[in-house]
Amino acid sequence: MKRRSRWKWYLLGCAAIGLTAVAAAWAWLHSASGILVVIRNDGHETLRDIVVHVTGRAYFLGDLAAGTTASVRVRPRSESHVEIEYTNGSGTRKRLNAGGYFEPGYQGTIFISTDGEKILESQHDVAILY
């Protein structure tokens, strides 16, 4: 009887280790996937109510003071580029296309610099994860 009991505990232990490994791999892939969008306000006024748009999703960032940066990891639902939307210092709502190409399963960084009127710089370092 003791042998069966030990064997059962051995199998349960192996199953627990396997499930833990699968959960850890899933967590790592989930945290590594997606595109980190970094926005820098190179203007002289605060950008208000910033929203980052990708296909099927929108990410609210709030306000961004002049000379500061904010970032968000985005995960589109299908093929996408990135757009940023905000209200500039003169109260005009802007939605600007920062370009790029990515889709689910991609990772990397997109850096966007704006002065509140237009995109000054847009750098893309994006590649497929798997």
pLDDT in tens, 75-101: 999 999 999 999 998 999 999 999 999
**Inter-residue contact 74 to 82 (CB < 8 Å):** yes
Q: How far apart are CA 96 and CA 74, in angstroms?
A: 17
Residues 24 and 49 occupy one common structural domain:
no
Give the DSSP letter string of 100-125.
Answer: EEE-TTEEEEEEEEE-SSSEEEEEEE
Host domain of residue 6: 1-32
| pLDDT at position 86 | 98
pLDDT category at 2 given cuts 50, 70, 90 is low
Residues 97 and 44 occupy one common structural domain:
yes
Residue closest to 99 by CA, chosen among 86, 121, 83, 119: 83
Residues 105 and 70 occupy one common structural domain:
yes
Residues 26 and 50 occupy one common structural domain:
no
Residues 84 and 101 occupy one common structural domain:
yes
Residues 65 and 117 occupy one common structural domain:
yes
Residue closest to 95 by CA, chosen among 60, 124, 64, 53: 53
Residues 47 and 80 occupy one common structural domain:
yes
Residues 41 and 67 occupy one common structural domain:
yes
Check pLDDT > 80 for residue 33: no
Into how many domains does the chain fold?
2
User: What CATH number is associated with residue 74?
Assistant: 2.60.40.2890
